[in-house]
């Protein structure tokens, strides 16, 4: 009897594996991902089927509903005076690929201030919350119930008490350890909370592999923040494990704030099935800095590979310089080829990554790519003054970007991300100067993989096999 039941179970399991393998072949975002899933499912269905249930979905179809709800705002944004007329003297780069990916035009009348490391970032964010008059929109991938988390909580509660409408959102996976009491305290104080434990997505639809990785604050539709910091004391450099935490946020003003606000409304619609469009300010004001800027949001709800294509567009535009800072370097074939081609045509390609480990698998996988890119003339720098977590790049003297997107497959295809792009020499100069300082706190990698310690030499090629889902 048991033998018959086991045989039936194995037969049914293999049939399911075959169905999933066909689906993976039809819908996987890359050929490598399709091959990986098919081989895994058919060779080890006992493990492959449950893994595919949690990690194998490919599109957030329901997310398009939020996108449709925001279309009228997009059209309204496009009608702003001079909105689609960026200053041609300060562009120096073709914005059309980025505009197509963002479904928004580059605008002039924007401002930017780099916020280097946690103290500067959270001081500026908390000051903006204190100055809020109408509303605060706040979203972080990770929120911890520690000293910084409670400080942010207190500021949001204070804002709510003085009549500011505060909306708070976090990610179910990133903030898995956040106690319910933290959210309940916010609710009792009048803060509108999108509880990740109750929203659509990972908990109910086997979509654990998708995360909303955005870190956004918007105050009154006038001031915005985006970058690499989350809410936790480690981002202030107070972690015994990591020590100093090197990260970057950016404070933005002008029309680009409304673009960031638009992305928040889509995320909120997905989490709460609530349309915020008529409840927010979409007029705003311009910045005296008058920079050309664009907010590019990417994610698995898009029809195209927006994350990878944004990087590809930036790499293709580079003529003299391409400097990229990312905590992880696990590129797909297209981005790897583009980086190699840029280095071969004489572009100063530099990749800045941390020497300190936070997630061992992507850290290890990166070593499988370093030799290939260095052989084409690119340079790899490993940051040693603590852990580096920033996501930024600069192209020539014309384009600078700061946001949440890592240089890896997860950010390209599995996470909801956003980058603030500034097509302005002043922004490029500021980011380049910041990275110059970081290079001075790094060493250049010159030792090839065969000369690395044995755990890296043999572990890197194995870790690379998991690149499609890292």
The catalytic site residues sit at 213, 215, 220, 389, 391, 396
Which of 241, 263, 287 shows the shortest CA–CA distance to 102? 263
Q: Any idea of the CA torsion for 279, 303, 409, 439, to the nearest 10 degrees?
A: -60
CB-CB neighbours of 83 under 10 Å: 17
Helix (H, G, I), strand (E, B) or coil at 218: strand
* Structural tokens at position 29: 């975002």
3-state secondary structure of 104: coil
Q: Is 76 exposed, middle or buried (0-12, 13-18, 19+ CB in 10 A)?
A: middle
Nearest by Cα to 262 from 82, 60, 107, 102: 102
User: Which alpha helices (H) appear in 274-394, and where do they start and end?
Assistant: 306-317, 333-344, 360-374
Tokens of 360: 């061992």
d(C-alpha 250, C-alpha 112), whole Å: 7
> How far is it, in rounded angstroms, from Cα 291 to Cα 449?
43
């Amino acid at each position: 009897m048991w033998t018959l039941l086991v045989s039936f179970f194995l037969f049914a399991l293999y049939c399911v594996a075959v169905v999933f393998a066909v689906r993976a072949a039809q819908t996987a975002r890359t050929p490598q991902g399709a091959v990986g899933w098919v081989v895994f499912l058919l060779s080890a269905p006992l493990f492959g089927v449950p893994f595919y249930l949690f990690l194998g979905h490919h599109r957030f179809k329901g997310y398009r509903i939020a996108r449709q709800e925001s279309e009228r705002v997009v059209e309204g944004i496009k009608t702003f005076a001079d909105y689609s007329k960026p200053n041609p003297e300060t562009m120096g780069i073709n914005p059309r690929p980025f505009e197509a990916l963002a479904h928004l035009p580059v605008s002039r009348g924007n401002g930017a201030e780099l916020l280097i490391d946690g103290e500067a970032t959270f001081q500026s964010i908390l000051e903006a919350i204190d100055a809020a008059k109408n509303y605060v929109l706040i979203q972080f991938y990770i929120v911890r119930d520690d000293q910084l988390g409670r400080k942010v909580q207190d500021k949001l509660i204070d804002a709510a008490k003085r009549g500011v409408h505060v909306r708070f959102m976090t990610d179910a996976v990133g903030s898995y350890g956040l106690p319910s009491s933290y959210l309940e305290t916010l609710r009792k104080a009048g803060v509108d909370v999108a509880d990740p434990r109750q929203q659509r997505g990972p908990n109910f639809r086997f979509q654990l592999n998708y995360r909303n990785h955005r870190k956004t604050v918007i105050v009154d539709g006038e001031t915005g923040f985006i970058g690499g910091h989350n809410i936790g004391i480690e981002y202030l450099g107070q972690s015994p494990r990591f020590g100093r935490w090197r990260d970057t946020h950016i404070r933005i003003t002008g029309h680009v704030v409304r673009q960031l606000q638009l992305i928040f409304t889509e995320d909120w619609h997905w989490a709460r099935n609530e349309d915020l469009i008529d409840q927010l300010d979409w007029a705003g004001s311009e910045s005296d800095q008058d920079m050309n800027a664009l907010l590019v949001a990417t994610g698995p709800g898009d029809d195209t590979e927006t994350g990878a294509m944004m990087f590809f567009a930036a790499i293709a535009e580079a003529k003299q310089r391409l400097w990229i800072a990312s905590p992880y370097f696990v590129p797909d074939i297209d981005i790897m080829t583009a980086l190699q081609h840029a280095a071969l045509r004489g572009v100063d390609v530099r990749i800045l990554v941390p020497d300190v480990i936070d997630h061992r698998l992507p850290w290890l996988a990166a070593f499988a790519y370093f030799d290939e890119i260095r052989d084409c003339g690119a340079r790899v720098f490993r940051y040693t003054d603590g852990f580096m977590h920033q996501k930024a790049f600069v192209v020539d003297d014309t384009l600078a970007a700061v946001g949440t997107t890592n240089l890896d497959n997860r950010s390209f295809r599995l996470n909801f991300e956003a980058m603030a792009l500034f097509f302005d020499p002043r922004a490029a100069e500021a980011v380049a100067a910041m990275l110059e300082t970081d290079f001075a706190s790094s060493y250049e990698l010159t030792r090839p993989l065969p000369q690395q310690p044995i755990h890296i030499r043999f572990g890197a090629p194995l870790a690379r096999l998991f690149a499609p889902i890292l």
